[in-house]
Structure 1
């Protein structure tokens, strides 16, 4: 009877741990998105402009023009509701599937290494990419819709999703899935890997559970480094994805090769890194908040 009781307690504990990851990840993702969204809007607009004209606008010009013509909230926070829910779902999936993968590895070996955690991060990225693609599609389109429809009132999120579905079917909502999966698989592996590695460095080179040895400042710094590594490493893929998702062609299939060629002819190598500076500027504090929030909730309520 004791063994049955222990097994039951373990199952309940393990189930609660997974639920915690879903909840804590959701809260962390939402907070991080609120912080980064204005700069993310500028980044997407810079990427959108990359393949459109050789005279690429500066970051400052995009900021001033956005504020001048659209105001603060309508310009910089345009379409926030969808990505806010999306960020909650994204981080919820990331931390949940990361924890799930680690539990699977632990069932085969007593101690999990940094390399194991990187592989777990890659798995988490693959899973999350399927959730993230439709969310980012809507987000990217909402962030540039004022640029595309200057003479008429732009549609809201519900109408935008409806239009995509009517013209392209369900598969239209997963436009850019391959680019998203490539970015998320490699990027998330490095995201979690960088975070864990920085915490190991803070701990004098010894790998321990973050809950047992980290401080608030360490979580923020490690998260900030993780965000910078994630964005810098796969940024060209993100640029291509944003251009695919903001294309106005509804019925004709957009070829990735055509996007790459157009971008190369228009701006050369630099075009693939359009908006990287502002991306790093937003990703450091946003990801610092994500990891700090998640770990703080985990430390106090898990």
Structure 2
């Protein structure tokens, strides 16, 4: 039976004597652990839902990015329709299994890392428990994106390969890894890594910064601490639009370098790839190819991602509170 007194955890020190750990310290550790787990789960779900929703548009964008064909909305529609007629409806999601293998850990790590970096930077800059100022807010997003990209990069490359090749070439994700390693060497798994990191710094930084800033401004002007779901979608859409526009040329370079082994090109460096793309296709039509599609796809994906993360976090916290009350 409960006696109304909260027990403290007991531990042994080096001399064998019992020491009592303050209950606040123990509960704080449990709280942090649950917070990390919640962030990982919410981030994984957010990434999976967002990427699946825009997978056909994403695949179409990648195909144009790695080819010299001129991009237009009409040509994009024709490509999607031809793919549907020739390979079936589900082929529009070809490579999505590889996307899920990559995006679930990527999004989980990115969102969780963002929460942790916010806490670390908040303590360092003296804003613990309150909204960060602009620079640390931007830095937290960039660090989160960089951390996630570094840990999951080979999966992104595999996904790009599957998106631009016929299913006869690579039967599944494992087959891509094995064939690439044998035919092109293990270092190929990190081809395009430099432009990825250079691109993710402004992309993740601006995306998280914009979303957090819009939520802060909303709270100040509306008096509501939590935006409505449609407002979260709108804030996320703005974040995705700005973030992807800022980093798009590096995204094109990354895709070209990732798929060089199957497109017949020999892209060796970031500047060399940029130069070749500009010479062959022009500055705007080359380095910004598919950007207009990204203005449709990106805001939808990022909006869904941020909204799903926030709402899942809120739901998990409510469930944990209900569980602790019942106990």
TM-score (norm 1): 0.88
- The Cα of 1:32 is off from its aligned counterpart by 0.5
Contact 2:195–2:251 (CA<8 Å) still a contact in 1? Answer: yes
Q: Which of these residues, 73, 80, 97, is aligned with residue 63 of structure 1?
A: 80
1:162 aligned partner: 178
SS in 1 for 2:45: helix
| TM-fit CA distance, 1:127 | 0.6
* Offset, 1:251: 12
CA shift in 2, pair 1:258/1:107, >3 Å: closer
Q: Is the 8 A contact 2:138 2:205 kept in 1?
A: yes
* Structure 1 range deviating more: 275-284 or 130-139: 130-139
* Paired position in structure 2 for 1:45: 63
Looking at structure 2, the residues matched to 62 and 259 of structure 1 have their Cα atoms a distance apart, in angstroms, of 25
Distance in 2 (alpha carbons) for counterparts of 1:237 and 1:78: 24
Report the count of equivalent residues. Answer: 290
Inter-partner Cα distance in structure 1 for 2:151 and 2:258: 15
SS in 1 for 2:169: coil
Matches of 2:249 and 2:152, distance apart in 1: 18
Match of 2:119 among 100, 103, 108: 103
Which 4+ stretches in 1 moved above 4 angstroms? 249-253
The alignment's TM-score, normalised by the length of structure 2, stands at: 0.82
Q: Does residue 248 of the first structure (1) align with residue 223 of the second (2)?
A: no
Structure 2: stretches of 5+ with no match in the other structure? 1-7, 9-19, 318-327
Q: 2: distance between equivalents of 1:5 and 1:170?
A: 50
Deviation, 1:158, is 1.6
1:139 correspondence with 2:159: yes
> RMSD over aligned Cα, in angstroms?
2.3
Structure having the higher Rg: 2
| Aligned-residue offset at 1:113 | 1.7
**Aligned pairs for 1:268-283 within 5 A:** 268-269=282-283, 270-283=285-298
Distance 1:104 1:204 in 2: 24
Partner of 1:232: 245
1:221 and 2:234 are equivalent in the alignment = yes
Q: Which residue of 2 aligns with 1:36?
A: 54
Residue 253 (structure 1) shift: 7.1
Q: Distance in 1 between matches of 2:226 and 2:21?
A: 32
Determine whether 1:123 maps to 2:136: no
Q: Secondary structure at the match of 1:124?
A: helix
Q: 1:99 to 1:293 in 2, by over 3 A?
A: same
Verify the 8 A CA contact 1:168 1:251 in the aligned structure 2.
no
Q: Does 1:261 align with 2:261?
A: no
Q: Which moved more, 1:239-248 or 1:158-167?
A: 158-167
C-alpha contact 1:202 1:218 (8 A) present in aligned 2: no
In structure 1, C-alpha distance between the alignment counterparts of 2:239 and 2:93, rounded to whole Å: 25
Tell me the distance in 2 between the aligned counterparts of 1:91 and 1:124.
10
1:252–1:114 CA distance, 2 compared to 1 (3 A): closer
User: Secondary structure at the residue paired with 1:49?
Assistant: coil
C-alpha separation between the residues in 1 aligned to 2:302 and 2:221? 23
